[in-house]
Each structure stands twice: as structure tokens, then as C-alpha cells.
């Protein structure tokens, strides 16, 4: 058989603007109106959704509740990361509450420096949980400028990059990851991915080791 191996570090691909980045901020933010409704809540009062989220590089939907111990542990960390770095780099957070009463929601929201879906809109919360497959909290879903899903593993992404160096945490395509890679044949000849894939229908990655 013809075997190849990938060697060296894979350089990140050059950034290509998304369709959302090509839109003006106001137009892109209209996707959030469809998703979240006309208005969002802040400590200072109610704001129009499109106005509040226009121009943001990413929006994190934060599914959480005060009765949830892991949520109470994660919220202060997220608030610190948001205030120190993430907000300034273009992230907005929208709290989607699973609290059991408006009073519980209000008390918990006082600990948060971001926006929230109005508690009264329970139907919208249920729809968002169903849309994004949220079955446990705390959960963070990261969306792009046009309200399209980047990742449902936002808690992991932000915890591993709390200063937002990789914000908005878009996963790279395999073709992008391999664009600058060196691939070596059994004979030791180095090739680029385009040469390797010539007249090939698929590429299989075999993760293995001699000690295994």
C-alpha cells in the first residue's frame, strides 16, 4: 500500500471573510432579531436587539441558572474574562435563563455585566434550547455576526482561550489546516496536499503509534 505521513507544524490558513463580514453591521445583526426577538435586557434597561449586537465579532448565548452549582462557579470566571478581554475584542454575551422565577433571574442577572433575554419570554428560551440542543447547563453557544452557529462548545473554547486570542473560535476546515503541510511518502519524498489528493476521492487520517 501507499502510505504517507504528516510532518512538522501546520501553519494557520489566511483569514477569509465570511458572508456576514461582508454585510454592514446593522444588516448582519438583523439575524439576531429573528433569533432573540426585538429587545434584550441590560442592567440599564431594555435595548433593541439589532442596536445592541450590531458590529459584534461574535455573540455567546449563555444558558445558565442560579440554582445550578456549576453555573454559579462558572459565571464569575466568565464575567471576569468578559470584562477584562473578551468584550473589548468584540464578544457580546446574552444570558438565556433557566431560573425558576423572575425574582431568581433578577438576582442572578445582577452578577452579570452583559445582556439577557427577557425572562418573561419563556417560549423563546425553550425554542433556543431546542434549536441548539442544550440539555445541560452551563452551556455557551457561539454565534457569528449574522447569528450563524460557530460552535456549541463555547464553554470549552472560552475556558481554553479566556483572553480571546482566537476569538471568534471558528474551527478550521481540514483543507485549510493542510494547506501548508508537508506530507512525506514512505520513500521520504515531500509533497503538498494538492499533489497527494490528485485523482483521489478521499483522504484518511490514521492515528497510531508503535508503542500502542
pLDDT in tens, the chain (212 residues): 455 555 555 445 455 555 445 455 566 678 999 999 999 999 999 999 999 999 999 999 999 999 999 999 999 999 999 999 999 999 999 999 999 999 999 999 999 999 999 999 999 999 999 999 999 999 999 999 999 999 999 999 999 999 999 999 998 777 777 777 788 888 888 888 788 888 888 888 888 899 99
pLDDT of res. 17: 54
Answer yes or no: are the C-beta atoms of 168 and 144 closer than 8 Å: yes
Can you give the length of the chain in residues?
212
Angle between helices 122-131 and 25-36 (to 10 degrees): 110
User: Which residues does residue 191 pair with via DSSP β-bridges, in sequence order?
Assistant: 183
Q: Is the dihedral of CA 165, 169, 174, 175 positive or negative?
A: negative
pLDDT score at 117 = 98
- What's the grid cell of residue 21? 463580514
Distance of alpha carbon 29 from alpha carbon 178, whole angstroms: 33
What pLDDT is stored for residue 1 in this prediction? 45
**Residue 115 in 3-state DSSP?**
strand
H or E element at residue 92: strand 91-97
Cα atoms in the Cβ-side hemisphere of radius 13 Å centred on 8: 14
Count of CB atoms situated within 10 Å of the CB of 128: 19
Write down the pLDDT at residue 24. Answer: 59
H or E stretch covering 91 = strand 91-97
* Neighbouring-strand partners of residue 39: 48
What's the whole-model pTM score?
Answer: 0.76
The pLDDT assigned to 105 comes to 97
Task: Using DSSP, state whether 23 is helix, strand or coil.
Answer: coil
Amino acid at each position: 500500500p501507499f502510505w504517507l505521513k504528516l510532518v512538522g507544524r501546520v501553519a494557520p490558513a489566511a483569514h477569509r471573510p465570511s458572508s456576514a463580514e461582508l454585510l454592514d453591521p446593522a444588516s448582519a445583526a438583523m439575524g439576531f432579531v429573528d433569533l432573540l426577538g426585538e429587545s434584550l435586557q441590560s442592567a440599564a434597561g431594555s435595548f433593541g436587539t439589532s442596536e445592541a449586537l450590531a458590529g459584534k465579532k461574535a455573540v455567546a448565548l449563555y444558558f445558565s441558572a442560579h440554582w445550578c452549582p456549576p453555573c454559579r462557579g462558572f459565571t464569575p470566571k466568565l464575567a471576569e474574562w468578559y470584562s477584562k478581554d473578551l468584550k473589548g475584542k468584540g464578544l457580546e454575551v446574552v444570558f438565556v435563563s433557566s431560573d425558576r422565577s423572575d425574582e431568581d433571574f433578577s438576582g442572578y442577572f445582577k452578577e452579570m455585566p452583559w445582556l439577557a433575554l427577557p425572562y418573561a419570554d419563556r417560549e423563546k428560551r425553550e425554542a433556543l434550547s431546542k434549536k441548539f440542543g442544550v440539555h445541560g447547563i452551563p452551556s455557551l453557544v457561539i454565534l457569528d455576526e449574522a447569528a450563524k452557529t460557530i460552535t456549541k462548545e463555547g464553554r470549552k473554547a472560552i475556558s481554553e482561550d479566556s483572553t480571546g486570542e482566537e476569538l471568534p473560535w471558528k474551527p478550521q476546515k481540514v483543507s485549510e489546516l493542510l494547506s501548508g503541510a508537508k506530507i512525506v511518502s514512505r520513500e521520504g519524498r515531500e509533497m503538498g496536499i494538492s499533489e497527494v489528493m490528485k485523482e483521489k476521492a478521499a483522504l484518511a487520517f490514521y492515528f497510531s503509534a508503535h508503542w500502542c
